[in-house]
Structure 1
Amino acid sequence: MPQPPAGGSLSVPRAAGTIAGLPGGGRIAVWQGFASALAMAVGGLGVGWMANGSSLIRVPFFIVLRDNPVLVVLCTVLVASGGLLLVRAWLRLGQRVGDWTGVHPRVAVRIAALWCAPFMVTFPLLSRDVYAYIGQGRLMAAGLDPYVNGISALNNYHNLGPDSLWTEAPTPYGPLFLWIEQGIVWLSGGNLEVAIVLFRLVAVGGVALCAVAVVGLAEHFGLGTSKTLWLTVVNPLFVINFVASIHNDALMLGLLLLGLLAAVRRRPVLAVVIVTVSILIKPITILALPFIGLIWAGRDAGWGRRILYWAATAAISLALLAAAGAVSGLWFGWVPAMATPGALWIWYAPFGLLSVIAGDITQLAGGDPDLVAGLIKRVGTIVGAVIALWFILRGRSDQVFLRMALAFTAVVMTASMIQPWYITWLMALFALVGVRKGWQLLAYYLVTVFFTVIAITDQLDVFEWIPLAVVRAVAIVLSVAFVSYMVLWDWKTRVLFAPLIPSRSRTP
């Protein structure tokens, strides 16, 4: 097989940069992944999110597909099995390729594009956040402040299809994303399907930025470029959460990684500007600024120099944020609005689960459950912030990326709500630190499997007269059965999870 040029540049002879250049087994895995994504996209026509105001809701094809319980269950099976088979194809791709140094980065990028393509022509899958984006864009177009008003301020807002959380709550997104929302609402002329396509194109643009930045950062750190792309943009969590579900995290993460690439290439001011643009999409990436200040200060900088460059980083970013706030007229309204996701909880978030248990106990004792639950969530937020601050202030000067990955992990894992797409931020950062064979790669596999299962069993759109509990039970049972098969009985994939299995079970 032709070897890639030194450094993994995307400039390569045409034959070496195509999927045909993969080993035979690798090509099989690629097309298995495409078929899996296609199955999910087809199933999404039946259980993907369709707003009441959609122009397609009265089309006979969709009426039959979404009104018939048997067809709804079939679509659920397609979505769940497609998602799990996509994970298996990703695992098998890694196995069959083996040594990624002989694969050019362009091949990995094309695999990601192939796996993302089917989702461009289906309804939003496993999340309806895009309908909240559309509603917030309409708020902007109507001259209303999304940091003060929920989507319920619009006439007939229920036809837009947003989650009930966003009907009353302010948006936690930055002003740049609000402008994007407003622009897409204007370009779509109020057509929900056109707006969905445009938001998907924005998400694809974010994935493209991720790919460019991952290539540059992997080269800088001396990592296998194609393998790092396989761990990130080819990963099913990226494909599903960014393109199928249409989350603005794709653009946020793409800009963050691009800013970090500028930082390691010794263009610190540009790095601060790009990361600030990322903050204007979703403010969580403000956490990266102190680490950019550390990179700017230099490897062996003392405390005086660190403080100086932290101050310079903060000043540049704050000036840009203030300018954006002044132009939009919304200023820093996103700061208090960032508390919106904190009102939620999920069972696998430690502080979220603890808040609910403590609240229930308090209620049984005659106390105020909301007060206690809110206090525990606040404690979780403070704990995450303190741990992140520790990683900013302490540690070896040559471990900035590792410390940044751990700081983001602390903030995510101490939140009361951990969404599957949050995990993509962490996976990208850890992949750029370097994922070694052994327990690190195993952890990567387990996280991918777990959060894919969470995604495909959590949000399915069915009519009120079709029992949602039954439909979700089908997805859950299928997921548990397939994961058990893949881990315990599939002789091709079970070797990847061998350390988790008792020795007698691993014997052929």
Structure 2
Amino acid sequence: MRISARNLPSCMALTIGSTLVLSISSFGAGATRNRGGMLDALGLDFLAYGHGGAVSNLFFFWSLVVLIGTWALAGRRFVFQSTRPEAERLREIRRLLFAQILCLIPAAPMLSRDVYSYLMQGAMVRDGFDPYTQGAAINPGPMLLEVSFDWRNTTTPYGPLHLWIGNVITHIVGQNVTLGVLLYKIVSILGFFAIAWAIPRIADRLGASPTLALWIGVSNPLMVLHMVGGMHNESIMVGLVSLGLLCALRRRFLLSVALVGVAVSLKATAAIALPFIVWLAVRAFGGDRHAPRGRRIGAFILSGAIGVVETIAVVSLVTWVSGSSWGWLSEISGNSKVINPLALPSLLANLVTPFFQLGNDDFSYNTPLGIFRTISMVCMLVGLVLVWWFFRSDARRALTGICAAYLVAFVFNSVTLPWYYASIISLLGVISLPKPLIKWVIGVSIVLTLAFAGSGNHMLYNVGWMVATALGAWILADLSMGPRRRVSLAHAAGQDPAEGEATPPSPAPAA
């Protein structure tokens, strides 16, 4: 079989079409409202349940698949198989990314219900409650009705900036959930724009391809759908960290630490990047490994001390201005309810529990889970220190170390969710990964994107589904990296390349 790229729609047409359908179907297949909402106001609430819900889910799924396939096709046309100048290819990926964001603005929350919890926590602060010591159920109202039952009696692990944003938004919207979601989407898009602006510039500073960095690290469907569609606060956190890392590469270390410090006041995991900014400062002021040892030690002590003091000062300032407290520090590891195989302790507990239950039906899953979580915390701390020390020689290794440190944290953490990996994915294109690893990143991104239904329920324990998505991810990763023997998307020899497709020296063999 031979497929010509000229016979396929343009990536822009596929992107706009699939994202618009995804946005429309999200009102019936996304994280739909329990009370009220757009469908209810229009008298179309039947699209969220029964046969109407099935139709909405069908359109949502297929538009999601087309969107993912278009991303892979764009990678092949503009990143891996293109002879166009870098600036032109980067502009094409930016256009596709902008189109996705524009089409997702009117969409309902998708792949997660977290935005409703964010609104509820802001409303709690507005109404005089403390989300660090009280659950959402303490404050009944329209916003509480949208919070998942699992989180109605759970405190929040997020920092004072998170509560400040929610407080401001709920002061503006009152009890209007729809308007609150829209304002949260605007905030998420601003954070996402910060990522999209900083990442290609970081890649350029490190001598990597800005086009690859933007394609795999920002226009990645896992990033777009969870940061913009799901409105997770990782969008703001990763945006601030990305800006901070760019400032560090430009030797503006005080501004760099300040930006990451603000990110820490939103979510504590941003702090993982700070020790590596110290290495960048040591490299800038202490010289390379051939410089005098005393000079490098002095630069390390001074940079580390300034970094710690400035971070504490920034977080303290945000805490004071927001009128919040330091209660979040004791709640960082509080979301222990989530069980899925993305976190190593949960995966190991899933594997060993059935064997123990063969001899004892009363054996509790929580017993090995508690043991593995304790061991994993120790492994995480040791792993973070080792990674920090190992990736210290230059700027590129420092950013590679940030990716490795986040990976250690997420693998050994008690709770891990797909959007956590935004901190890693956003940086993978700037550190010049070898092509086999890039292929793995493409495949894993696709699998994680398809691991959650539009409603926010995960399918990680559905073996058939995960095997099917893994197979599809392998095919699409193969597509994006280049032609194969049996299926060729290249033009015939002598034809002008379409959308950046490189003209092959000879026709590809047909099956």
Q: Which of 381, 387, 400 is 1:385 aligned to?
A: 381
RMSD of aligned alpha carbons: 3.1
Relative to total residues, which structure has the larger helix share, 1 or 2? 1
Q: 1:240 to 1:303 in 2, by over 3 A?
A: same
Q: Deviations over 1:296-337 (max 9, x none)?
A: 122536344323311210111012222333344433211111
Displacement after TM superposition at 1:285 (Å): 0.6
- Cross-structure match for 2:410: 412
Q: Deviations over 1:147-206 (max 9, x none)?
A: 111111112477531122321111111101111111111111221111111111111101
Q: Spell out the pairing of 1:178-217 with structure 2 (5 A cutoff).
A: 178-217=163-202
- Alpha-carbon distance between aligned partners in 1 of 2:100 and 2:91, rounded to the nearest angstrom: 14
- Alpha-carbon distance between aligned partners in 2 of 1:92 and 1:54, rounded to the nearest angstrom: 39
- Alpha-carbon distance between aligned partners in 1 of 2:483 and 2:156, rounded to the nearest angstrom: 41
Q: Which of 12, 19, 27 is 1:45 aligned to?
A: 27
- Alpha-carbon distance between aligned partners in 1 of 2:345 and 2:338, rounded to the nearest angstrom: 11
Q: Spell out the pairing of 1:270-419 with structure 2 (5 A cutoff).
A: 270-298=255-283, 299-300=287-288, 302-358=296-352, 364=360, 369-398=365-394, 399-419=397-417
Q: Deviations over 1:228-263 (max 9, x none)?
A: 111122111111111111111111100000001111
- Cross-structure match for 2:503: none
Q: 1:275 to 1:493 in 2, by over 3 A?
A: closer
Q: Does 1:161 pair with 2:150?
A: no
- TM-score (ref. length: structure 2): 0.83
- Cross-structure match for 1:501: none
Contiguous gaps of at least 5 residues in structure 2:
289-294, 486-508
Q: Please identify, of 332-341 and 277-286, the stretch whose mean Cα deviation from structure 2 is larger.
A: 332-341
Q: Spell out the pairing of 1:112-151 with structure 2 (5 A cutoff).
A: 112-151=97-136
Q: Which of 55, 63, 73 is 2:45 aligned to?
A: 63
Contact 2:25 2:59 in 1 (8 A): yes
Contiguous gaps of at least 5 residues in structure 1:
1-22, 461-468, 499-505
Contact 1:210 1:257 in 2 (8 A): yes
Contact 1:32 1:89 in 2 (8 A): yes
Q: Which amino acid aligns with 1:82?
A: S
Q: 1:479 to 1:151 in 2, by over 3 A?
A: same
Per the alignment, in what secondary structure is the counterpart of residue 128 of structure 2? coil
Displacement after TM superposition at 1:481 (Å): 5.5
Displacement after TM superposition at 1:368 (Å): 5.8
- Alpha-carbon distance between aligned partners in 1 of 2:55 and 2:466, rounded to the nearest angstrom: 14
- Cross-structure match for 2:493: none
- Cross-structure match for 2:452: 455
Contact 1:81 1:478 in 2 (8 A): no
- Alpha-carbon distance between aligned partners in 1 of 2:253 and 2:477, rounded to the nearest angstrom: 49
Q: Which of 22, 36, 41 is 1:54 aligned to?
A: 36
Q: Which amino acid aligns with 1:240?
A: L
Displacement after TM superposition at 1:346 (Å): 0.5
Q: Which of 440, 443, 453 is 2:437 aligned to?
A: 440
- Cross-structure match for 1:85: 66
Q: Which of 191, 197, 203 is 1:218 aligned to?
A: 203
Contact 1:346 1:416 in 2 (8 A): no
Q: Which amino acid aligns with 2:430?
A: L
Q: 1:344 to 1:486 in 2, by over 3 A?
A: closer
Q: 1:126 to 1:146 in 2, by over 3 A?
A: same
Contact 2:447 2:470 in 1 (8 A): no
Contact 1:134 1:160 in 2 (8 A): no
Q: Does 1:95 pair with 2:82?
A: no
Q: Deviations over 1:16-65 (max 9, x none)?
A: xxxxxxx9799802221221212211221211122334344643533221
Contact 2:447 2:473 in 1 (8 A): no
> What is the aligned residue count?
467
Per the alignment, in what secondary structure is the counterpart of residue 59 of structure 1? helix
Q: Structure with the greater relative contact order (CA < 8 A, sep ≥ 6): 1 or 2?
A: 2
- TM-score (ref. length: structure 1): 0.83
Q: 1:199 to 1:394 in 2, by over 3 A?
A: same
Q: Please identify, of 355-364 and 262-271, the stretch whose mean Cα deviation from structure 2 is larger.
A: 355-364
Per the alignment, in what secondary structure is the counterpart of residue 122 of structure 1? coil
- Alpha-carbon distance between aligned partners in 2 of 1:483 and 1:70, rounded to the nearest angstrom: 29
- Alpha-carbon distance between aligned partners in 2 of 1:334 and 1:361, rounded to the nearest angstrom: 38
Contact 1:214 1:257 in 2 (8 A): yes
